[in-house]
Amino acid sequence: MKIFNYILLSFILIIPTAFGDQIPPVSGNLPFKNGEVLKYNLHYGFISGGMAIITLKQEALDNKDVFHATVLAKTTGIVDKIFKVKDIYESYFDLKTSLPYKAVRNVSEGNYKLREEVIYNRSDNTINSDRKGIVKVPQNCFDMISALFYLRRINFSNYKIGDMVYIDTYFDGLFPLYVIYKGKETISTKMGEMRCLKFVPIVEPGRIFKENDDMLFWLSDDENKLPISVKFDMIVGSFRCDLVEYQNTKYEFKSIIKKK
């Protein structure tokens, strides 16, 4: 995966905990609703080089009511002139559990093109990929996007600083991820000072990162738990992806302490 695309997908690579085949309990009150739209800017130093848009709609899939989440990630400005990226990721997931039924990715990065559709079979814990066929997966396996929305449903008031979280996902193969909860923090954004929950995902050092804790991730410390920002300290430099606009959130956005 290209470094630029890796950054744009950062929000859907940060996911919640599972202990064995169990996933943590979540509130029955969803922190999101039909019609939510989140927009992000990507920065390399002082250069703005890309954007991402996450949309959520309630639809029907095979006679089941589902949430349909879409992530559009693309280059902008001078970066788009040098190397054009336009990737679309989709997830159709259960209204109550957030477990996915179907995931689609449509990747366009320069001359590289890829499309994959994955169907999740809960009865026998397999996925059926039109690229890789049938693959055995752990129980309660997520795709990357549904995992993000599940994360937002967890009550982190029960977590202590330093607690390790883990989940199994499928993304071109099994993709186990580990995240450390680091407590609450107020951060500065273009929209103002915000109260957030802070996380440190454990990444693999060497190819992209210098250390295994060179990524930071923040969620809003309110009922919405919006993904606010992610920061990378990478071998090639420092990147940051920030929320710049939100629409149709379920609850009033109360994390902003001081607006700019």
Q: Bigger pLDDT: 18 or 243?
A: 243
What ranges make up the beta strands (E) of the chain? 37-44, 47-61, 64-75, 86-94, 100-109, 112-121, 126-129, 133-136, 164-170, 174-189, 192-201, 215-220, 227-234, 237-247, 256-259
Mean pLDDT of 195-201: 91
Listed by start position, the domains of the chain span: 3-259
Model pLDDT, residue 23: 59
Computed over every residue of the chain, the mean pLDDT equals 83
Q: Is the pLDDT of residue 237 over 70?
A: no
| Beta carbons within 8 Å of 157's beta carbon, 6+ residues apart | none
Q: What's the confidence (pLDDT) of residue 245?
A: 95
Between residues 36 and 21, the one the model is more confident about: 36
Q: pLDDT by residue (tens digit) across 3-24? A: 445 554 454 444 444 444 455 5
80-110: buried (b, 16+ CB within 10 Å) or exposed (e) per residue? Answer: eeeeebebebbbbbbeeebbbbbbbbebebe
Q: What would the pLDDT profile of 58-108 be if each residue is shown by its tens digit?
A: 999 999 999 999 999 898 888 788 888 899 999 999 999 999 999 999 999
Distance, CA of 135 to CA of 127 (rounded, Å): 5
Give the span between the Cα atoms of 223 and 116, in whole angstroms.
34
Phi, psi of 150 (to 5 degrees): -65, -40
Q: Which residue has the higher pLDDT, 99 or 230?
A: 99
pLDDT: which is higher, 65 or 176: 65
Task: Report the pLDDT value the prediction gives residue 126, as an integer from 0 to 100.
Answer: 96
For residue 100, what are the β-bridge partners? 93
Lowest mean pLDDT among 29-38, 51-60, 151-160: 151-160
Q: What is the pLDDT of residue 260?
A: 66
User: What is the model's pLDDT at position 175?
Assistant: 76
Quote the CA–CA distance of 8 and 12 in Å, as a whole number.
9
pTM of the model: 0.86
- Whether the per-residue pLDDT at 203 is higher than 60: the answer is no
At 144, is the pLDDT very low, low, confident or very high (cuts 50, 70, 90)? confident
Q: What local confidence, expressed as pLDDT, does residue 65 receive?
A: 96
Q: Tokens 């049938």 identify what position?
A: 134
